[in-house]
Amino acid sequence: MNKKDYCNKHEGSSKRLWITFLFFCFIVTGFMQAANTAFAQTTVTATFKKATLSEVLWEVQRQTDFTFVYSTKDVEGISVRNLDVNNEKIAVVLDKCLKNSGLTYSVHNGVIAIKPAVDEAKEVAAPQQKTKVSGTVIDETGQPIIGANVVVTGTTNGGTTDLDGHFFLEVDHLPVTLTVSYVGYVRQEVKVTSGKMLKVEMSPDMNLMEEVVVTGYGTFKKSAYAGSASNVKGDKMKDIPSVSFMDQLQGNAPGVQFTSSSGQPGASSSLRIRGMGSFNASNSPLYVIDGVPMRSGTINTMSSDAGLDIMSTINSSDIESITIIKDAAAASLYGSRAANGVVLITTKKGKVGKPTISLKADWGSSDFAMDYRPVMGGEERRQYIYDGLVAGQMKKGKSEADAMAYADGEIDDYAPIPWCGYTNWDDVLFQKGSHQSYEASLSGGTDRFKYYSSLSYLKQDGIAINSGLERISGRLNVDFQATDKFKLGANVLFATVNQDVYSEGTSYSSPFYTSRSAVVPSDPVYNEDGSWNRDFIRISDRNPALAATYDYQREYVTRAFNTIYGEYEFIKDLKFRSTFSYDYVNTKGNDWSDPRTSNGDDINGGMSKKFYEYKKMVWANQLSYKTSIATDHHLDALVGYEIDDQYRDYLSGYATNFATYDKNQISNGMKTESVGGNDTRTRMVSYLFRVNYDYKNKYYLGGSFRTDGSSRFHRDNRWGNFWSVSGSWRMIEEGFMDPVKDWLTDFKIRASYGVNGTLPSDYFGYRGLSSLTNGYLEQPGIIQSQLKNNDLQWETNYNLNLGLDFSLWNRINVTLEYYTRTTKNLLMDRPISMTTGFGSYLMNIGEVKNKGVELEINSTNIQAKDFSWNTTFNISHNKNEIVTLDGMQTEIISGNQIRKVGKSYRTFYMIEFAGINPETGAPQFYTNDVDENGNYKKEITEVIKEAHAIVLDKHAEPNVIGGLSNTLRYKWFDFSFMFSYQFGGYSYDNWAQKTEHGGNDLEANIPTYYRDSWRQPGDITNYELFYEKPSVAMNKVSTTRRLHSTDFIRLKTLTFGVTVPKEWTRKLGIDNVRLYASANNLWTWAAYDYYDPEAVSGGTAIWGTPPLKTVTFGVNVNF
């Protein structure tokens, strides 16, 4: 079989992207030329009666885009008196501050270096031969440090490093000692004994490095933040081969659980933060990129279960950091969309400095992470069925000879020996997946203009034949300080994705379902004459290899997500910011059933064509003000107004009876089977307010309020109010903590409480709807399709969070949190009497509660010149409990799960399996009848009845999730790994229930665990021997026989990298070269390892592609 080229070429898209990229480079050059006069134009307003020079410099830095670097020793003791300037040029202000101080300054691309002035008269008076000393100052990653101070110790002879980190000094004699300093790094003293070029590597000062929390409505120091937030740096995802960044969050953030519907490239996935808070509405968090709420979920115009995750349009390498907000302190500002948390994605921005070009390429392969649902091979299966046929006849009283004669006559009906030998259908339907990606980025800037742009290409071949994904994406982020008061910027994302998918679930078009159930080793792919085989033991003429060769489901997605903003500062710290974003998604899906396959032969070929268009416009306006009162009181306030408008347009058509299979445009179908479509528009208007106050950077209080009006509710219930209060106390700043500050370097307690909301998933859930598609005798007709409910309201989520943060020896940072999350007015489809003409009615009923504990520990184990070792560990426990249902019922049975007051939402409800009768080999079950006192009586029976089902103390949600990561660096080498784990959850193997038919399906594949089946009296096992024709009696009822633990420990990521020494690369004009190898899902321990414990959805094992193991090799080059 020749593999099809499953993705169209992107020649037009590539050309447009390259034109955009070149145009951007032209604009950047112009802006950089215009920005050279920025220093001369910048003004400052300040009033100080008496202040230290350091205080004045920090105030100037706060008002401008310049960064000051200086030695604290140089400015120590220097004061500034009676400084009163109003819109004064920065050069004038610096001259006034440094007058008679013995200091001077120099400016290099946005960095102002304060340094001792050189006494030129003394140097002239004492002419002598000078010795030149030169070198380079770099940071811990090998990047040059711009503006570092380099001074001959004990003198005023010094300078600052240039854009390449170089410095040049002249000294009277050798040896001398140089003092090297830079803000945020540990000061170093370097002894110089010769004129050889020096290399000074600076180490970060952990006392000065302050992590910040980005909330979307402000950025806060973590020490001042009173809410619950976890931050994942983009560096943790840079080497991992993944279409989407989503799966890399698992194990890296406490309280966050990742699930994927499929292992197909680009398949849909979801995050769940702190449990399940909704029944019918979404449990996914709100995603915000660069401050703008964005669409999440799946784009799926196909009949396949997979679809494309919209997050797959974002290149992970463009992400600077991801902040996950879990409580109400910041989430309430997002109102009706934040009940399940908020995921804030910050993309990379340009930084002051010379242009940096980064090139990256990687290549790799993928395979099953675990031995996925292994089945018996052809000869083993034939022998097993033969033994079963013999045992079945002997059980009926026949002699061994008669039983064997019977088996000889029957065996070829179930396991014949094919003409070409037994078929390994895994080799036919699956392949080694592969991927390749290429990326280029350009970034840099001045104090006025900063830019970051990137272009990337990604191609993945799926693990099933003729499946895969191809993506081209580009990004452009620019920020421009147009005047002293006005700045503007833009963030642009453009992506095209082509995806070839295959059916999943119980469809015979699914390679997973067919290879594990429907086709067996006795089924050949081809007939002896070379034609396709259409005579199968179980599935008639459905040859899955034939379908995979000619049928296809192909999706084309184009996305443009553009944001522009403008910000104006009226007076000092009073700013108005207006942001407009436009998210456009265009999707086209082609689903072709070829007339040469069993899916299309009866209809002579069928083409289903679907178009989907999505538009989202957000206009946000914010007025913010910051002020300090009497130096100790700090106030930060914000008010805002937002409009959110979303439009969706869908059109589909289906035609059959094609004259030829290679001209399969839908217009060539002789018969139009159906045409359909719809369009919807939803809108929301919001008003919001936030205020934060702190006293002496010790006591913090915050509050927020937001009101949303949504078109998804009746006008009488359209508005929802959401709010939060929070506070924290940095106890380490108190005087009574002084005795322990030697080892307890930080200590803070915090609390927050607030209300968020959830919108109904249905856009028109409150309306009474009618359908015009019904008729009688080809006459048009209309029927009511949905009952109205004008009383429908918001789901409300009440969130309490208590937190404790402390640091030991400035090396071990610990965060401990307790939370409760109660959702009231649950949106549920309540069953109603069928006499109404409807089976259910969307209402606000019920209440569910999540409560839990989270612990995160970050440790700097070793921090030396050539070696470092850091460890991060997190663990989370969550308990989900239904508080009330509809006030009339205490339990609702849903399949093999039950919604019961006092139990978890996904509690299992089924018959308890009691093992195999060791004497007869028959399966046994517990009756669980109830006696006169209401107690269960556990009696064993071989008769299975639905009435024997019982509420189990087992549920789908895990009790514990977490992760452990380590990062080690030694000279040129880096090594990191991360384990993720979960314990306490269960899943039901619905796959086995449907394929085994109670252990009696001789036509299907046989799982390898049946090697341990019962054979003779006295055998103790959980599996009976297949011994007669298919019987589906036990297929209709769920039992604990197929309920399995989802406990696992997984080596999620493993990376090894080598950075080529700069002494080698600089000769080639290259700043940095790094080679790396990485692996994903490399090793897994599972309590039940027949299927992947992460291949689960809603407590049921999925019928599709499991998570895959990937291995990648790559190179990163920076210029």
Ordered domains of the chain (ranges, CATH): 35-201 (2.60.40.1120)
How far apart, in whole angstroms, are the C-alpha atoms of residue 385 and residue 405?
14
> To which residue do tokens 């660096």 refer?
969
425 or 28, greater pLDDT? 425
Binned at pLDDT 50, 70 and 90, residue 295 comes out as confident
How far apart, in whole angstroms, are the C-alpha atoms of residue 376 and residue 634?
71
pLDDT at 1: 42
Binned at pLDDT 50, 70 and 90, residue 304 comes out as very low
Q: What is the mean pLDDT of residues 39-57?
A: 79
Question: Is residue 812 helix, strand or coil?
Answer: strand
Share of the chain above pLDDT 70, in %: 89
Binned at pLDDT 50, 70 and 90, residue 1073 comes out as very high
**Which distant-in-sequence residues (6+ apart) come within 8 Å of 104 by Cβ?**
98, 114, 115, 116, 117
Structure tokens at 198: 């020096």
Which pTM value belongs to this model? Answer: 0.80
Binned at pLDDT 50, 70 and 90, residue 874 comes out as very high
Q: What is the mean pLDDT of residues 882-890?
A: 80
Give residue-wise pLDDT tens across range 1090-1116: 989 988 888 988 877 888 999 999 999
Give residue-wise pLDDT tens across range 728-743: 999 998 989 999 988 9
> Where is average pLDDT lowest: 158-167, 325-334, 994-1003, 1034-1043?
994-1003
Question: Is residue 339 helix, strand or coil?
Answer: coil
Binned at pLDDT 50, 70 and 90, residue 161 comes out as confident
Give residue-wise pLDDT tens across range 424-459: 999 999 999 999 999 999 999 887 899 999 999 999
175 preceded by cis ω (within 30°)? yes
Task: DSSP for 762-785, please give it.
Answer: STTTTS-EEESS-EETTEE--EEE
Mean confidence (pLDDT) of the chain = 84
948 or 300, greater pLDDT? 948
Contact (Cβ atoms closer than 8 angstroms) between residue 6 and residue 552: yes
Angle between helices 400-414 and 378-395 (to 10 degrees): 140
How many CA within 13 A on the CB side of residue 976? 25
| Most confident among 9-13, 17-21, 904-908 (mean pLDDT) | 904-908
pLDDT at 3: 37
Structure tokens at 203: 């180490």
Binned at pLDDT 50, 70 and 90, residue 5 comes out as very low
pLDDT at 267: 77
> To which residue do tokens 């937030």 refer?
229
pLDDT at 4: 37
Q: What is the mean pLDDT of residues 40-63?
A: 79
How far apart, in whole angstroms, are the C-alpha atoms of residue 71 and residue 159?
11
How far apart, in whole angstroms, are the C-alpha atoms of residue 945 and residue 360?
61
Q: What amino acid occupies position 158? A: G
pLDDT at 184: 62
pLDDT at 300: 63
Shortest CA distance to 500 belongs to which of 592, 412, 406, 598?
592
pLDDT at 207: 46
151 or 259, greater pLDDT? 151
Q: How many CB atoms lie within 10 A of CB 783?
A: 11
Q: How far is CA 148 from CA 107, 113, 162, in A?
A: 12, 8, 8
Task: DSSP for 191-204, please give it.
Answer: EE-SSSPEEEE--B
Query: Cα torsion at 64, 67, 70, 76 (round to 10°)?
Result: 30
Is the pLDDT at 55 greater than 90, yes or no? no
Give residue-wise pLDDT tens across range 624-645: 999 988 888 999 999 999 999 9
> Where is average pLDDT lowest: 74-83, 401-410, 585-594, 952-961?
74-83
How far apart, in whole angstroms, are the C-alpha atoms of residue 286 and residue 616?
15
Shortest CA distance to 979 belongs to which of 1051, 1035, 930, 1034?
1051
> To which residue do tokens 């993705």 refer?
7
1001 or 176, greater pLDDT? 176
Give residue-wise pLDDT tens across range 969-1000: 999 999 999 999 999 999 999 878 766 765 56
Helix and strand numbers (H, E) in the chain are 14, 64
| Most confident among 911-925, 958-972, 1009-1023 (mean pLDDT) | 958-972
How far apart, in whole angstroms, are the C-alpha atoms of residue 567 and residue 575?
7
pLDDT at 122: 44
pLDDT at 109: 58
Burial of 10 (0-12, 13-18, 19+ CB in 10 A): middle
Contact (Cβ atoms closer than 8 angstroms) between residue 953 and residue 959: no
* Beta strands 198-201; 131-138: pairing state: parallel
Is the pLDDT at 869 greater than 50, yes or no? yes
Angle between helices 90-98 and 53-63 (to 10 degrees): 170
> To which residue do tokens 């030998």 refer?
421
pLDDT at 110: 67
pLDDT at 128: 53
Phi and psi (nearest 5°) for 457? -135, 130
pLDDT at 539: 79
Is the pLDDT at 387 greater than 50, yes or no? yes
Share of the chain above pLDDT 90, in %: 41
Task: DSSP for 513-531, please give it.
Answer: HIIIII--TTS-SB-TTSS
Q: What is the mean pLDDT of residues 304-332?
A: 82
Contact (Cβ atoms closer than 8 angstroms) between residue 680 and residue 647: yes
Alpha carbon distance, N-terminus to C-terminus of the chain: 45
Question: Is residue 123 helix, strand or coil?
Answer: helix
Is the pLDDT at 574 greater than 80, yes or no? yes
List alpha helices for 115-158, DSSP H: 120-125
1016-1020 CB contacts, 8 Å cutoff, 24+ apart: 1017/918, 1017/919, 1017/920, 1017/921, 1018/918, 1018/919, 1019/916, 1019/918, 1019/921, 1020/915, 1020/916, 1020/918
**Which distant-in-sequence residues (6+ apart) come within 8 Å of 1068 by Cβ?**
none
How far apart, in whole angstroms, are the C-alpha atoms of residue 169 and residue 178?
10
Give residue-wise pLDDT tens across range 998-1046: 556 788 888 999 899 888 889 999 888 877 654 445 566 889 999 999 9
Binned at pLDDT 50, 70 and 90, residue 39 comes out as low
**Which distant-in-sequence residues (6+ apart) come within 8 Å of 571 by Cβ?**
none
Binned at pLDDT 50, 70 and 90, residue 773 comes out as low
pLDDT at 211: 60
Q: How many CB atoms lie within 10 A of CB 349?
A: 17
302 or 759, greater pLDDT? 759
Q: What is the mean pLDDT of residues 539-565?
A: 90
Structure tokens at 14: 């590539």
How far apart, in whole angstroms, are the C-alpha atoms of residue 1049 and residue 1046?
10
Question: Is residue 125 helix, strand or coil?
Answer: helix
Contact (Cβ atoms closer than 8 angstroms) between residue 821 and residue 854: no
Q: What amino acid occupies position 953? A: D
Q: What is the mean pLDDT of residues 536-546?
A: 85
Give residue-wise pLDDT tens across range 463-493: 989 889 999 999 999 999 999 899 999 999 9
* Paired residues of 48 in beta bridges: 83
Is the pLDDT at 328 greater than 70, yes or no? yes
How many residues comprise the chain? 1119
Give residue-wise pLDDT tens across range 97-146: 888 888 888 876 567 878 887 654 444 444 456 788 888 888 776 677 87
Burial of 376 (0-12, 13-18, 19+ CB in 10 A): buried
How far apart, in whole angstroms, are the C-alpha atoms of residue 1026 and residue 411?
13
335 or 984, greater pLDDT? 984
